[in-house]
Chains A and B, each alone.
Chain A
Amino acid sequence: MQNIIIGQYVPGQSFIHKLDPRAKLITAFLFVIIVFLANNWITYALLGAFTLLAIFVSRLPLRYIYNGLKPILLVIILTFLLHVFLTKEGPLLFDWGFLEIYEGGVKQGVFISLRLLFLIMITSLLTLTTTPIDITVGIETLLGPMKKVGLPVHEFALMMSIALRFIPTLLEETEKIMKAQSARGAQFSSGPIKERLKSIVPLLVPLFVSAFKRAEDLAMAMEARGYRGGEGRTSIRLLKWSGKDTTLFVILLLLCISLLLLRS
């Protein structure tokens, strides 16, 4: 429970921490798109290099990131296996009668898993190095022009930031309730699977009850403090575009061009 890094912010002073949230948001967004440009070893290597560089520059402890990825690793391995066993392309590598593994399958498996891994890393880096408030302000400014077409940009951004803000709280709450029920003999992390599944109800019911209560309290508190939506509301955070952000964009552009040139 203590290892989950989704939505966590780790304070720091690195290059990436200091980037303008808008630059980071755009980068993450573009990255999600250009990941799909890669289709051979060299383009994947490029994306890998970019991801590793980003992690390195962020100066987040590697062990922390690794521990945070562990729960997701299972999904990635599963994806890999599915592709290995189900894609039937290229020369046959192994044949155990009922199981046939083709070269195309292995390649596909590696590529798709890498793609997943890169996506998760880059988006996690975004939240790990940006405070929820900065993310909100970033999104709100970026989507600002859409207000003219009547999109509820402010509300959307607020929703996002509240969600981000409460992920750690919910995890904490989950841990607390798990402890309370474990003390009453529920089994979450050991014992037969049937027992563990049965423990889900005693966990989820109190969790939902408190989440709804929290939501209600928050809404009440916001109203009591005069919150009236985005109209005329200014932000205490002023975003400033700096040389760092331009540097990031140049790197991203170079990455884009190389991908386009090198993909087969």
Chain B
Amino acid sequence: MDITIKGLEHSYSKGTPFERKALSNINLSIPSGTFQTIIGHTGSGKSTLIQHLNGLLKPTQGSIQIGDFKIQAGVKEKRLKALRKHVGIVFQYPEHQLFEETIEKDILFGPLNFGVPEEEAKKRAARLIQQVGLDESYLSRSPFDLSGGQMRRVAIAGVLAMKPSILILDEPTAGLDPRGRREIMDLFYRLHEEEGLTTILVTHSMEDAARFSDDILIMEKGGIALQGGPETIFSNPEALKKLSLDVPETVQFIHRLEERFTKNLPHSVFTLEAAVDAALSILQKGEENS
């Protein structure tokens, strides 16, 4: 499902002394199957933006089109539940949404709400609990006995179990250990590829943004500051610096290598392995020449 956002504006607590404009004039289109990353400082409106994509927040101006669902300022959309079946959101700190007696029941909550037969839902739960890095023995345990990181994984499984076609991730790995972070991000990316999902990732990690994105959106003060593919975005460190954002370490490294050896290197080098290869290629060439 393609997503098209036109002239979106959102003010919190409209009509009270606490009114606060969090988004203004957002125009954005995300074609089906894109891995879209959203970056921006804290308070720049990232969470506000993504909550519009399944009708949790209503625009105060503008419209959002998702497939054939249309959410418009001032118009009541009656098929929100149907829309939410297609758009899964993993919220910031999703572990706060756990409530059931057992982990299995909690994972089943979403699918059962959306009318998935119990048999099928249970199958999904059994598969997902492994995919998020726990094993089936956990299914019968209470979610409240788990560590924070494990709770996070269960909550993520609970959203994935709905089999959304658009998966929205709001800083899904914040507060996890580096290894857990990598595992979870790899899982999301694998699902993105295998199931042809549209993935929207909100993150503070430039490394993740560089590795996975088809397109990067940089937000500032409720608006769009920059947008483009990772190569375009990261080949312009000056623009990023102006927004007080960093380029990924690998990109920094490549730029330094280029300066040092006055050579041009490919700018699409975002993974650690690729950076190592690029460095080796320079060094080896150097040896051959000498």
On A, residues with C-beta under 8 Å from B are: 2-3, 10-11, 60-61, 63-64, 67, 176-177, 179-187, 190-191, 201-202, 205-206, 209-210
Contacts and interface: CB of A to CB of B under 8 A. Distances in A.
A187 B115 CA distance: 14
A184 B51 contact: no
A60 B16 CA distance: 10
A2 B88 CA distance: 24
B13 A206 contact: no
Which residue, of A183, A186, A210, has the highest number of chain B Cβ atoms within 10 A?
A183
15 contacts: A3-B16, A10-B18, A63-B15, A64-B15, A179-B51, A181-B97, A181-B109, A182-B84, A183-B87, A183-B88, A184-B109, A185-B109, A185-B110, A186-B109, A191-B81
B80 A206 contact: no
Given A177-B96, A177-B97, A180-B97, A185 B17 contact: no
Interface in B129-159: 144, 158-159
Interface of B: 12-13, 15-18, 51, 54, 56, 80-81, 84-85, 87-89, 91, 94, 96-99, 109-110, 113-114, 144, 158-159, 162
A67 B113 CA distance: 32
Contact of B96 (A10, A63, A176, A191): A176
Given A2-B13, A67-B16, A185 B96 contact: no
B121 to A, nearest CB: 12
Contact of B80 (A63, A190, A202): A190
B99 A202 contact: yes
Contacts of A60: 17
Given A10-B17, A179-B56, 9 more contacts: A60-B17, A61-B17, A177-B96, A180-B94, A183-B91, A184-B158, A185-B110, A187-B81, A209-B99
A205 B142 CA distance: 13
B96 to A, nearest CB: 6
Contacts of B89: 180, 183
Given A184-B162, A210-B96, A179 B91 contact: yes
